[in-house]
Amino acid sequence: MHRLFAPPLFFCASRRTATLMLAFLLALPVHAQAQDQTLESITHALTGGAVDFAARYRFEWVDDDNFRQRAKASTLKMRMTYLSKPVNQIRLGVETDYVAVIGPERYNSTENGLSEYPVVADPQGFDLNQAYLQYQSGRLSGTLGRQRILMDQQRFVGGVAWRQNEQTYDAARLIYHSGAFTLDYAYVWNVNRIFGPEDGDQPADWHGNTHLFNLKYQISEYQSLSGYAYLQDFENDNGPPNSVMSYGMNYQATLGNLKVFAELAQQRDHADNSRNYQTHYYAANLDYSLSPIDLLLGYEVLASDNADSAFRTPLATLHKFQGWSDKFLITPDTGVKDFYLGVRETNGKLHLGAVWHHFRADKERGTLGRELNVSATYQLNRHISIQVKLANYDAVSHATDTTKAWLTLQARI
């Protein structure tokens, strides 16, 4: 399904979207609806809006023992972002992306049918990344339409901004602040996945009825506690097996030079998921600063229910977790235990990092694999950066030996 909506109401392409937009407008304070917006004020808000441009070139190289061919993906993402001035606390936001293949197409984009190559999930094409109305007044903000949703550490709900085609959500979202508390709720009826803009080996969209609840309590300037319930209901293609109900809490604190993070969650099948299971998740990490060097120690467990089904996070920014080789995008039924050690150093404009992972199964004895990640990022100036990354996965009982390398050039205007 192509993601362009019929203009001019590009965020009202479906009856459900139109109904929710009406409900959103009716929920606004009376004075916001009662204002008589003149054509002059609306024109001023639109013409006076801010426009930003960004470009990101990436070369990704993949050597996977499961394939005879090595992937060589050379892609360029061009992005335009527009945000209008507010009219009665309401503003319009639009963001478009175009991903182009530079040179020969020697990789499996999941859409181009080149299955002899390893997957690099960066299909080419135009995408309407965001298109929303946003209301802001005092403690309350609301957003309706296609939007970016990032919750907590993005372990459960994220944008997968690492890929050239970002994951965004057709949703209605409300955020309310009251003292130390922040309530964040989103109703999502469509997930615009990284595999778009057209369907391929993976669906470009997941349709359904998903509810995302997140409540954050700021204990002090240096400590916070979050509780959440994510009820994910996907109806089409491979969505139903990813329909899960997850609820849990996390704690984070900065104690001098030490940053602490801990999380605990439960999960069970939900909606049309044919599997009947219940399992859990827990994670903890310590980040200690010895400026300019940071040391990282962590442990994360996506548990298994009797080696039949395991904890999964289908809306997460998965590349951020369990190694950059992306060997655990779908949790194996035996579950995963990830023990990792890392080091980071900042030297002026140069940022260096390395993380080593040891993966074990949760319900069965033995090592799944090991992985080393290394990165170097150089910030030339406020607008331009260069990054080199390397991931080397050493398979033991899960997947195959894989080496990936990236060169990324990013510019903002």
Instruction: Look at residue 1 in the predicted model and tell me its pLDDT.
Output: 40
The residue extents of the domains of the chain are: 15-412
Instruction: Look at residue 14 in the predicted model and tell me its pLDDT.
Output: 47
Q: CB of 16 within 8 A of CB of 217?
A: no
Instruction: Look at residue 12 in the predicted model and tell me its pLDDT.
Output: 43
Q: What is the pTM of this model?
A: 0.91
Segments of the chain with pLDDT less than 70:
1-38
- Asked if the peptide bond before residue 332 counts as cis, ω within 30 degrees of 0, the response is no
Instruction: Look at residue 17 in the predicted model and tell me its pLDDT.
Output: 55
Residue 347: exposure state from Cβ atoms within 10 A (0-12, 13-18, ≥19)? exposed
Q: CB of 372 within 8 A of CB of 366?
A: no
Q: CB of 244 within 8 A of CB of 312?
A: yes
Instruction: Look at residue 40 in the predicted model and tell me its pLDDT.
Output: 77
Query: Residue written as tokens 């049918």?
Result: 113
DSSP letters along 7-71, please?
SS-TT--SHHHHHHHHHHHHTS-HHHHHS---HHHHHHHHHT-EEEEEEEEEEEEEEETT-SSPE
Query: What is the CATH class of 15-412?
Result: mainly beta
Instruction: Look at residue 20 in the predicted model and tell me its pLDDT.
Output: 59
Instruction: Look at residue 23 in the predicted model and tell me its pLDDT.
Output: 59
Instruction: Look at residue 42 in the predicted model and tell me its pLDDT.
Output: 81
Instruction: Look at residue 29 in the predicted model and tell me its pLDDT.
Output: 55
